[in-house]
Chain A
Amino acid sequence: MIFKIEDVTVYFPYDNIYPEQYEYMVELKRTLDAKGHCLLEMPTGTGKTIALLSLITSYRLSRPDSPIKLVYCTRTVHEMEKTLAELKVLHDYQVLHLGTQAKILAIGLSSRKNLCVNTKVLAAENRDSVDAACRKRTASWVRALSTENPNIELCDYFENYEKAAENALLPPGVYTLEDLRAFGKNRGWCPYFLARHMVQFANVIVYSYQYLLDPKVAGIISKELQKESVVVFDEAHNIDNVCIEALSVSVRRVTLEGANRNLNKIREEIDSVQLVGRSKATDAGRLRAEYNRLVEGLALRGDLSGGDQWLANPALPHDILKEAVPGNIRRAEHFVHVLRRLLQYLGVRLDTENVEKESPVSFVSSLNSQAGIEQKTLKFCYDRLQSLMLTLEITDTDEFLPIQTVCDFATLVGTYARGFSIIIEPYDERMPHIPDPILQLSCHDASLAIKPVFDRFQSVVITSGTLSPIDLYPRLLSFTPVVSRSFKMSMTRDCICPMVLTRGSDQLPVSTKFDMRSDPGVVRNYGKLLVEMVSIVPDGVVCFFVSYSYMDGIIATWNETGILKEIMQQKLVFIETQDVVETTLALDNYRRACDCGRGAVFFSVARGKVAEGIDFDRHYGRLVVMYGVPFQYTLSKILLARLEYLRDTFQIKEGDFLTFDALRQAAQCVGRVIRSKADYGMMIFADKRYSRHDKRSKLPGWILSHLRDAHLNLSTDMAIHIAREFLRKMAQPYDKTGTMGRKTLLTQEDLEKMAETGVQDMAY
């Protein structure tokens, strides 16, 4: 359908539109007009992605003089593919109605592992080794050598791509990763480098968060994006954590050992280059040339030969001083000495018996006094290492990860004085008898990593199904949105049924509060709840626990008391573990059990892999039980440091932040069950603390609006009864378009009418 939003003609590839999609588009359009940033919360299953894509592309078409670029960031490759598939439908529709002028170039960009078509390179098992295998075949010196020595293996795809040079272009269209690989294979061009090259020409780019937020990657991939871009972060409820992780480094003992080995190897390389250098002028000349370059203080990244890009500096671009590399590390040998001293110092610090917490400033000063490395030297470690490795023509980058981690750490410590802290823990809190020292540089300020994005681009859209409370995000990320809104879901029937269960069938309160969680009564009541529920809920049931250790404990107790056996009479039981392969297998079998009618229960952990990325839609999840409030581990030193920082800098109370964080996790977990309007599911919040207003009110609006007062303080038997009724009601056939009272599918005529009367009065 084609309709107008103010002065923009929107091309929407479906015949009907949900009212909330329309409103979403209106808000988005106003944001684009204002050239500002916005926060939009809309429940999953309401077609957020297509609304977003169709508005932004239509907006682009309506302003031919100032074309905007869309940069769409997703969390996973799977989501990336889904987005591109939707864009394809939209693109076909627009081309159908507008002809070739609507043609755009849209590409998905991912790592080499997902894009490479060279079978020998792909044989490597993980991402880093694929990268290394690729470099081994494409580095400029390797290619130079191969002209003399034909036995050196090169990558044909890359050679062809290089040969085509400027002519290597993608014709307009929408390319998923699969399409890119097919195109590359067909033409014999390397899809990865082609996609990287096309980033500057593409109208729509879909890639992962890291490509914008992690300064190491963003520096090389995203530096050429123009200001007139709209950046979208989808599923952005955890964006603050992504930002923090991008700037945090942890060093363990194995890292140090690895780094030492790396240094030895570098040392050998330098020696061999110098030895050979006596006979061969060229090799020794390399080191000298590098030295000269550093003396001149050229910006390191710009002047190295094009194909050999390395990860850029881990600090943010504007924090890197345009200075020459300090004198004491210009020579390769001296730099290696400095690194050795740094490693030694870190080793000494790791030997500590106590937990230590330090600010970067004091860490740097003690480093200066004990190891004689000053702050400025530290700051250049990462760049200097890169330069050295390039000069030494090292291609096995995956082997050199430990030393890179250490240099990464050094540079960040040297660059930032605020917003970070260094925490050294001699052992894991939960297993105090096993020494496992870890030194962590943790970032507390999410706004640091995202600030350049806000500054650089015209509009940044942060959107997700759960962004409540919506006023906290601008504070955490320190920006001012021009629009921040939460949309409700318009439904033809009440297809979600949230309940707060506060008491067991014996009327005793249930909670995972620290003093209550090991109480056998609570454990029994939780077990009884599940036993009752599995006997009345068909197909799949998902349970989320607050942590792995709690889950292990409670399942062990259930096993002893026979509760697990009772559950297994009704449904099969599957458990998430920390092992990814095992969990995937469990999930697969869980789905099969749901499909064939046997029914199954999945035990999972909030904040785990499953809670974040796996959908339990339709019959895979008719009920989700959230056992307890998933607070973070409040004794964690990193969390405490971050809370302190948030309180001092942003005036966010510790309690507020913890509750916010716990509730968004809970909302994420329960939100897994409903992925579309035709779906239905129940959500049980099994903890007495959910009935308190301060906790409950932080749930997203679309859940709250279905949470009736009568469902706020239930005991097990009441919940059973409500569930029974709900399931019966939902099993009845229903009318998809909605009855006259609440219209949930709008046609073109409805929209025209709405444009006249105003949006608000018809929407709900």
Chain B
Amino acid sequence: MSNQRKRLTGEREDEDDEDAEGIGEWERAYVDDRSWEELQEDESGLLRPIDNSAIYHAQYRRRLRMLSAAAAGTRIQKGLIRYLYIVIDFSRAAAEMDFRPSRIAVMAKHVEAFIREFFDQNPLSQIGLVSIKNGVAHTLTDLGGSPETHIKALMGKLEALGDSSLQNALELVNEHLSQVPSYGHREVLILYSALCTCDPGDIMETIQKCKKSKLRCSVIGLSAEMFICKHLCQETGGLYSVAVDEVHLKDLLLEHAPPPPAIAEFAIANLIKMGFPQRAAEGSMAICSCHKEVKIGAGYMCPRCKARVCDLPTECTICGLTLVSSPHLARSYHHLFPIAPFDEVPAFSSLNDSRRTLGKSCFGCQQSLIGTGNKPGPCVTCRKCKHYFCLDCDIYIHESLHNCPGCESIHRPKSVSLMEE
């Protein structure tokens, strides 16, 4: 029915159906409630709810292929320690209602989700928030590793006013990021809802400045493609994308969560001094160095200067040491060695496939792979261990687990035997 759902199924179908759906397109704007979109007409004219799982899975596969294609061939060095500023455009255009309830609310909602996801995937990195309002850029939060403080600061000021200025935002961020250590990757992610930028000076110079200071700028537009944004992203090696709808916006944002490939000239091996603080004893009382408040229990102690901090990872405010915990380091590891995407099992040939008859259930969740009407449901297989997985497990393995259960179960006895020798 709607454009958005169709797009997920792939380009070809989208184009074929263009004429049929063109008539209804404009009517959509007049009704807020889109309940009929959940229904689809099948070949015999019956209405039935849309089965989204296959569509979502196809979309996910495409994303996965894209990522692995980029990583194929050589092993790419990734910037694991990132200093990311998120710039949110709260100018007049952000008040528009084409995203429900308004762009500003939708942006805030998804940035919140993004911040959580970001720290989940990049435990060693830090985020800062900047907003554009009335043609001026304001710092909402400084660089920091605690999701809660950022989210609190973001939700505090939701109002849209005045013009937007890309240059001011870039200058501000550039200034902030000039102080970060050289091993860190500087990035800006701009959520831009306006369609023009009112700048005090020549923005081209600012872009060159960003390029020189190795600032990777990415922009997500909310309405249409702007030349200057595209130019900025091309120059600084970032990504430029425009959101079609809310779901797409979320996807585009989350694309920025995994660490990007390191800039070539920047990718020199570097030793970084880090502290692994201990969690303070329950019930001990101390003034934390980050909030200047007295806190009982909870918190970490810097191994060098013994100052108390609330959250990890962070930089010790007293001695400037980078403080992390070992699970954080471990969690970053999988970005360097991602699991290869699973192969799709073609539905038509699988019946005669002898191997297929062996595994009728998913190796991950043990659910049956036989779909409705005794036809084999869609499934995928790992290239290494040849185990079958259902689509849900496929997504779970690649996006959260980062380990293939099949391969792990084969490898374990081997590694044990190695240890014994």
A residues near B (Cβ < 8 Å) are 493-494, 535-539, 570-571, 594-599, 618-619, 622, 708-710, 714, 717-718, 721-722, 724-725, 727-733, 735, 739-742
Do A731 and B242 have beta carbons less than 8 Å apart? Answer: yes
**A728's closest neighbor in chain B, by CB?**
B244
Instruction: Select one of B22, B28, B195, B197 contacting A708, CB under 8 A.
Output: B22
Q: Closest CB-CB distance, A583 to chain B, in whole Å?
A: 23
Contact of A722 among B11, B25, B203, B221 (CB under 8 A): B25
Contact of B25 among A622, A710, A730 (CB under 8 A): A710
With A708-B22, A721-B29, A741-B15: A536-B197 Cβ-Cβ less than 8 Å: no
Q: How many A-B residue pairs have CB under 8 A?
A: 101
B204:A596 contact, CB within 8 angstroms: yes
Q: Please indicate the chain B residues that have their CB under 8 angstroms from the CB of A729 in the complex.
A: 3, 244
Q: Nearest 8 A-B pairs (CB), nearest first? A: A597-B228, A731-B242, A619-B227, A727-B224, A731-B225, A599-B196, A597-B197, A538-B226
Q: A536-B223, A597-B199, A598-B196 are in contact. Are A710 and B242 (CB under 8 A)?
A: no
CA distance A728 to B98 in the complex (A): 12
Cβ B18 vs Cβ A494 within 8 A: yes
A residues less than 8 Å from B202 (CB atoms):
596
Distance, CA A733 to CA B252, complexed state (A): 12
CB-based contact B15/A739 at 8 Å: yes
- Kindly state whether residue B379 has any CB partner on chain A within 8 Å: no
Within 8 A of A (CB), among B196-227: 196-199, 202-204, 221, 223-227
Nearest-Cβ distance from residue A489 to partner chain B, whole angstroms: 15
Question: What are 19 A-to-B residue pairs whose CB atoms are below 8 Å?
Answer: A538-B224, A570-B195, A598-B198, A598-B199, A618-B227, A710-B26, A721-B26, A722-B25, A722-B26, A724-B98, A724-B223, A728-B223, A730-B224, A731-B221, A731-B224, A731-B225, A731-B241, A739-B12, A741-B16
- Min C-beta distance of A737 to chain B, whole Å: 12
A539 touches B242 (CB 8 A): no
Q: A710-B22, A718-B26 are in contact. Are A597 and B225 (CB under 8 A)?
A: no
B191 at the interface (CB under 8 A from A): no
Distance from B22 Cβ to chain A, minimum over Cβ atoms (Å): 5
Question: Is B23 among interface residues, defined by CB-CB distance under 8 A?
Answer: yes
A672 to B141, CA, bound (A): 46
In the assembled complex, how far is the CB of residue A190 from the closest CB belonging to chain B, in whole angstroms? Answer: 43
**What are the interface flags for B337-364 relative to A under an 8 Å C-beta threshold, 1 for contact and 0 otherwise?**
0000000000000000000000000000
Interface positions of B (Cβ within 8 A of A): 3, 11-12, 15-16, 18-19, 22-23, 25-26, 28-29, 93, 98, 166, 195-199, 202-204, 221, 223-229, 241-244
CB distance from A741 to the nearest CB of B (A): 6
B226 engages A597 (CB within 8 Å) = yes
A494 to B228: give the CA distance in the assembly, Å.
23
A530 to chain B, nearest CB (A): 14
A600, closest chain B residue (CB)? B196
Contact A539 to B22, CB < 8 A, known contacts A599-B195, A725-B3:
no
CB of B98 within 8 A of CB of A538, answer no
Check if A728 sits within 8 Å of B227, measured CB to CB.
no
Residues of A within 8 A of B242 (CB): 728, 731-732
A571 to B224, CA, bound (A): 15
Contacts of B29 in A (CB 8 A): 717, 721
Which residues of chain B come closer than 8 Å to A735, judged between CB atoms?
A: 11
Distance to closest chain A CB from B364 (angstroms): 32
Q: Which residue of chain B lies nearest to A730 when distances are taken between CB atoms in the complex? A: B225
**Given A596-B199, A597-B197, A741-B15: A538 in contact with B227 (beta carbons within 8 A):** yes
A400 to B28, CA, bound (A): 69
Q: Other CB < 8 Å A-B pairs besides A708-B19, A708-B22, A730-B224, 17 of them? A: A535-B93, A538-B195, A538-B196, A538-B225, A597-B166, A597-B203, A721-B25, A725-B25, A728-B224, A728-B244, A730-B225, A731-B225, A732-B241, A732-B244, A739-B12, A740-B12, A741-B15
